[in-house]
Structure 1
Amino acid sequence: MTITTARQPSVRLLVSALATLLAAPSARADWVIAPSVAVRETWTDNASLTSRKSGSQWVTELSPGLRVTNRTPRLEAALDYRVNALNYSGERPSGTDRVTQQLSAALHAKAVPDTLFVDADYHISLQPVSAFGPQTQNDYTTTNRQEVRSWRVNPVLMHQFGAFATAQASYTRDAVDGGNIGLGSSEGDALLLSLSSGARFQKVTWGLTASSQNVDTAALPQTHSRAVNANLGWSVTRQLRWTLSGGYDRYTYDALSDKTEGASWSTGLSWTPSGRTTIEGTLGRRYYGDSYSFRLTHRSRRTVWNVSYGDDVTSTRAQFLLPSTVDTAALLNQMFMANYPDPLQRALVVAAYMAATGLPPSLPNSVNYFSNRYVLQKQLNASVALRASRSTAVLSVYRTRREALTQGTADSPLLGSNNFSLNDNVSQGGGSASLNYQVSGRTQVSLSSTFMRAESLSLDLRSRSRTMSVSASHQFGRSTHGTVSARRTNGNAGLSATPYTENSVSAQLTFQL
C-alpha cells in the first residue's frame, strides 16, 4: 500500500479557462460572484489516522473560497474553489498537510449556435490511494490520500441535414495527474463520430456511432480502445419505448486473457409514465460476458429517488474524469425544482442549503482507489432525498464489484511486487445517511453517518471505515454563520487490518464577503 503526500497544483489551466470565459460574448451578462472565508478550530486525538494515536492536537484552519456562476443562452459556467491553510499546535504530525485545496470548474459554451459547442472542466481533489487504507472526510489528513488533478476539453461540431439526420463530431483532450510515481500522469485523446435520425423519424429512430481513444501513461505502454455501434428505437406507445443496439468493441491492453474484443448487442425498454418518473432497463452481451443496466428516477413534491445499475470496462483515470455518481447538489436540485424554477437561483439556494447543513458535495459511491489496470466494474447505486416542513434526509447505498482485466504487474509500482494482486478482485459496499432539522429560521441541527467496506476476494482481506457526526449551525447575520460539530471515525486498514480511531470537535465561522 502506498501512502503519499499531496502536492501543490499549477493553476495555469484554470487561469486559461477563466480567460476564455471572460472573453466569451455572454460574459457581458451578470455573473454571480460569491467570495467567502471560513475560520475553523478543531481538537483531534488522531490527526493522521494511525493505529497509535499521535496525541491531542489543535488544528487551526483558514479557508478562503470563491464561487462563480453564470447561466445564459450562450454560456453556462460554474466555479467552486477553496483553499485550506492549516496550522497545528506543537509539531505537525506525519500524515497531515499545511495546505490542501479543492476546485471544481466547468463550462458549456455555444461558440456558434447550433453548430459548435465547447465543454470543459477542471478538478482538484484529495482522493484515496487504496480502498484498504484509512478513509476520512477532514481537510488535514493525507494518510492514504493524494491530490489528484484532472482536466478535460471537448469541442463538439454539429450539423443538421434538414429533418433527416443530425451529424456530430466530437474531440476530447484530457489529462489526469495523481502526483504519484506509481500512478503518474496520463493524457488521452478521443474522437467520437455519430449520425442520428432527425425530426422526420418519430415512431422509429436510428443512430450510428464510432469512437476511438488513445491513452498515454507515464509508466505504461499506450493503450487504445475502438468501438462502433448501431441502434434502433421504436415508440410502442407514447410512454413505452423499445431499443435494440449492436456493435463491436476492441481494446488493447496487457490482458489477463485473450478476450479484449468482440461483438456486442443489447435490447431494452424505457417507460415514462409521467414527467416525474422514468424507468429504463437493458440486457445484452459484450466481449466480457453478459451485460445489464437499469435506471429509475422519480420525483414527487417532497422526495427524489434514484436507482441505477450498470457494468462497463473502465479504469481509475476514467473514473477521475467522470462526475460523482451520486452528486448531492444534483439530488437537491431536483428536490427544489418546484419551489425555485429559475436554474441559477435554484443553484444558489442549493449551495446555501448544503453549506448550512454541512452536506458533502457527493455521497459515497465506492472508493476509486489508484490502479493502472483496466477493470470490469459492476455498480449498483440507490439514493433518496426526503424533505418535510422542517427537516431533510438524504440516504444512499452502493455495491460495487471490480474485476481486473489487466495483468497485475501494471500495479507493481503502486503496491510492490508482492502485493500487486490486492486489486485483482475487489468488492465494495457502503452507504450514508444525513438528517437535518431546522430548529428555527436561523438554527439547524444535523446528524450524519457513513459506512464503507472493502474486500479483496483474491487475498481474503477486509477493510472497513465508519464515521458518525453531529453538528449545529446558526445564522448570525445576512453574511455570517457558525457551526459546531463532533465527529468519530474508526475502522481497520492495511494488509494487517490495523485498527484506527479519531475523535474530533470543531467550531467554525463562515463569512460571505
Structure 2
Amino acid sequence: MRIVCVVGLSSWIFQADAAEWSIQPRLTISETYTDNVGLGGGGFGGFGGSGRGGGEFITQINPGVNITGEGRRFKSSLNYTLNNLIYAKNQRFESRNQLSANATAEIIKQYFFVDGRASISQQNAFLFAPLALDNTNRTGNRRNIYTWNISPYVRQRFSNLASGEVRYTHGEVSSSGNSFSNNSSDTAIFSLNSGSAFRTLGWGINYSHTEISRKSTGSGFGSPGTISLERATGSLRYLVSSQFSLIGTAGYERNSFLSIRGRTSSPSWTVGFSWAPTKRTKIDASGGKRFFGNTYAASVDHRTRSTVWNLSYVEDISTFGQQSLAGGSILNPSMLGQLFSGVQGSEALLSQGFPQSFSDPNNFLTNRLFLLRNLQASLTLNGRKNSLVFRAFNYSRKSFSPDQEDMDLVGIGNAALTRNTTQTGGNVLWNHRLSPRANANINFGYIRTSYDLTSQKDDSIIMSAGLNKQFTSKINGSVMYHHLRRESDRNNGGYSSNTLTAMVSMNF
C-alpha cells in the first residue's frame, strides 16, 4: 500500500504523457568477518579480541532494483533491496526489506501537484544499547522503520503581486519495536508571499496546523493521545541593497500537548538578515523568542573552485515520527551528495564506501515530544587526486513530555536517562583517487553522547579504511575495514569490534 501511494501517483498520466523509464536490476554479494557480532563488552583487544559477542562470518546476498521514470509532468524513482544475511557460526538466516521511493506529479499544469515518499529502513533504536554500523551486527538494538506520506498542493501566482501555496500532507510512521507509539500526522499549510512588485519591502503570511495521532503504548500511563501544533506568522523583508536584506517575523503559536516544562503556547518573533555578497556565498541568521524560550537559526554556504563550506543551526519542537519523515539522519543521501559533489570517485563512495550512518548522531526511538537543537558544519577540500572532508555536529534533544510515555518502551529508568541528551562529534574523511576506476578512503569519526540527568557519557570511535574498484561499467568491488569502539561511564556500556568486508556489486 505504501509503495502504491508513492509510485502510483502519476500512473493516471502514463497513457497521455510519454515517459522514459529505466529498470535496473542489481545484485550485491559480500562476505564479512567480525570479531564481535553482538557488540558485547568485555575487552578492547585487536582482531579476534575478547568481546563477548563472539566472532562470526556473515554472507550477504542482496538482490535489488532501481526504477526511475520521468515525463513532462511527473517524475518518480524506486530503490529496493532485499537484504539477506547468512550467519555461519550461529547458523541463522535473516532477511530485511530496504526501500526508498518518491514521486511528484503535476496534475493540473502549473497549478495542482502531488508529492509522495515511502521508505523502509533499519536503525539503532536506543542510545544506551550497542550501536551497530549496519545490519550485520546482531545487537538486539536494530528496528525496522516504516514511513510514507502523500502531499497534494496548489500553487497560484497573482501576477507580480504575490504567489501562494495551499498544501495538505498525510504521513505515517511505524516501527517493529514493541511499545513504540506508531503515529500518523495530518498537516495543513498556507503561505502567501509578495511578488516582484514589492521589491524594497516584501511581506509574507504563513500558517500551519499539524495533528499527530499516536496509538496507545499499552502502559499504565495511558494513551499518549493526540498532539496539536499550530503556528501563524507574518514576515517583512526590507531590501537594504541588492545583496543584503533585513528580515523580521511575528506571530502566535498554539500547541496542545502534555508538557513538563510549562506553557505550550505564546506569541513568537524573530529578527535577522540575509546576505549574499557573491554568487557563491550566502549567509542567513536570525534570533528571537518562542514558547520554549530564546530561539536561533543560521546557515552559511560558500563555494570556491576547490572548497565547499557549510554551516547550519536549527531548533524546533519535534517528534521521532517527524524526524523520520524528514529523513531521520542528519546526513541523509541528499546531503551526502552535496557533501561529496565534485569529489573524485564520489559515486563509489556513496554507493558502497560507507555504512549509511557513519559517524552520525542517532535519531533514537521515543514516544515523547522534544526540543531539537542541531548545529552542524562541514568543509570539503577537492583536489585532482585527493579530497578531504571535515565535519562536526552538536545534536541535542530536550524532552517536553513525561518520562512515563516511554516507560513501556525502555523502562522508567532509561526513560529518565534519555530525558535530555546531547550528541557531539564529527569525522575526518580522506579520499584518494588511485586511477580513473579506483579510489581509497580513510575515515575517522568520534561521537560523545551525554546524558544530562546523570552526567554519564559514552565515547564512540569509528576508524575505517576502504578500497573501491570499478572492474567494468556494470561491476564494482570493494574491501572495507571498520574498527568500532565505545568507552562508557555506565556499567557494561563499553565494547569494541573489528570488521572486514569484501563486496562485489553487479548491475544488469
Same fold by TM-score, threshold 0.5 exceeded? yes
Mapped to 1, the partners of 2:367 and 2:350 lie a distance apart of 34
Q: 2:144 aligns with which of 147, 150, 153?
A: 147
Residue 263, structure 1, aligned to residue 253, structure 2: no
Residue type matched to 2:331 in 1? V
Q: Answer whether contact 2:135 2:142 (CA < 8 A) is retained.
A: no
Cα deviation, residue 477, structure 1: 1.7
> What are the superposed Cα offsets for residues 37-75 of structure 1, whole Å, 9 maximum, x if unpaired?
111011111112122423321111001122233455522
Change (3 A) 1:471 1:48: same
Change (3 A) 1:278 1:353: same
Provide the residue aligned with 1:345 in structure 2.
Answer: none
Q: 1:49 aligns with which of 39, 54, 63?
A: 39
> What are the superposed Cα offsets for residues 267-325 of structure 1, whole Å, 9 maximum, x if unpaired?
10100112211100001111111111110011222222210012211111111111343
Q: Answer whether contact 2:5 2:116 (CA < 8 A) is retained.
A: no
Residue 20, structure 1, aligned to residue 35, structure 2: no
Cα deviation, residue 138, structure 1: 2.4
Identify the range of structure 1 (27-36 vs 427-436) with the bigger mean alpha-carbon deviation. 27-36
Mapped to 1, the partners of 2:331 and 2:501 lie a distance apart of 27
Provide the residue aligned with 2:196 in structure 1.
Answer: 199
> What are the superposed Cα offsets for residues 46-105 of structure 1, whole Å, 9 maximum, x if unpaired?
112122423321111001122233455522333222221111113247xxx711232221
Q: 2:324 aligns with which of 306, 320, 327?
A: 320
Residue 129, structure 1, aligned to residue 125, structure 2: yes
Residue type matched to 2:383 in 1? A
Change (3 A) 1:16 1:374: closer
SS of corresponding position for 1:498:
coil
Q: Answer whether contact 1:359 1:434 (CA < 8 A) is retained.
A: no
Provide the residue aligned with 1:375 in structure 2.
Answer: 370
Change (3 A) 1:23 1:466: farther
Mapped to 1, the partners of 2:8 and 2:145 lie a distance apart of 23
Change (3 A) 1:142 1:190: farther
Provide the residue aligned with 1:456 in structure 2.
Answer: 451
Residue 67, structure 1, aligned to residue 71, structure 2: no
Q: Answer whether contact 1:328 1:363 (CA < 8 A) is retained.
A: no
Cα deviation, residue 361, structure 1: 4.9
Provide the residue aligned with 2:426 in structure 1.
Answer: 431
Change (3 A) 1:167 1:317: same
Mapped to 2, the partners of 1:55 and 1:363 lie a distance apart of 23
Mapped to 2, the partners of 1:366 and 1:98 lie a distance apart of 26
Mapped to 2, the partners of 1:193 and 1:260 lie a distance apart of 22
Provide the residue aligned with 1:104 in structure 2.
Answer: 100
Mapped to 2, the partners of 1:334 and 1:396 lie a distance apart of 10
Q: 1:298 aligns with which of 293, 302, 312?
A: 302
Provide the residue aligned with 2:464 in structure 1.
Answer: 469
Identify the range of structure 1 (63-72 vs 195-204) with the bigger mean alpha-carbon deviation. 63-72
Alignment of 1:484-499 (within 5 A): 484-492=479-487, 495-499=490-494
Identify the range of structure 1 (279-288 vs 372-381) with the bigger mean alpha-carbon deviation. 372-381
Residue type matched to 1:108 in 2? T
Mapped to 2, the partners of 1:310 and 1:462 lie a distance apart of 24
Residue 32, structure 1, aligned to residue 22, structure 2: yes
TM-score, with structure 2 as normaliser: 0.90
Mapped to 1, the partners of 2:191 and 2:228 lie a distance apart of 19
Q: Answer whether contact 2:59 2:86 (CA < 8 A) is retained.
A: yes
Mapped to 2, the partners of 1:329 and 1:261 lie a distance apart of 34
Provide the residue aligned with 1:227 in structure 2.
Answer: 231
Mapped to 2, the partners of 1:493 and 1:113 lie a distance apart of 57
TM-score, with structure 1 as normaliser: 0.89
Provide the residue aligned with 1:236 in structure 2.
Answer: 240
Mapped to 1, the partners of 2:504 and 2:111 lie a distance apart of 47
Cα deviation, residue 397, structure 1: 1.1
Change (3 A) 1:490 1:31: same
Provide the residue aligned with 2:220 in structure 1.
Answer: none
Cα deviation, residue 494, structure 1: 9.1
> What are the superposed Cα offsets for residues 431-474 of structure 1, whole Å, 9 maximum, x if unpaired?
12222211122222111222222111102222222221111122
Residue 415, structure 1, aligned to residue 410, structure 2: yes
Mapped to 1, the partners of 2:469 and 2:331 lie a distance apart of 27
Gaps of 5+ in 1: 1-11, 340-348
Cα deviation, residue 259, structure 1: 1.2
Identify the range of structure 1 (266-275 vs 492-501) with the bigger mean alpha-carbon deviation. 492-501
Residue 406, structure 1, aligned to residue 396, structure 2: no
Mapped to 1, the partners of 2:484 and 2:358 lie a distance apart of 17
Change (3 A) 1:79 1:398: same
Cα deviation, residue 337, structure 1: 7.2
Q: Percent identity?
A: 26
Provide the residue aligned with 2:388 in structure 1.
Answer: 393
> What are the superposed Cα offsets for residues 394-432 of structure 1, whole Å, 9 maximum, x if unpaired?
331110222111111111111213332112211111112
Provide the residue aligned with 2:113 in structure 1.
Answer: 117
Q: Answer whether contact 2:343 2:382 (CA < 8 A) is retained.
A: no
Change (3 A) 1:153 1:234: same
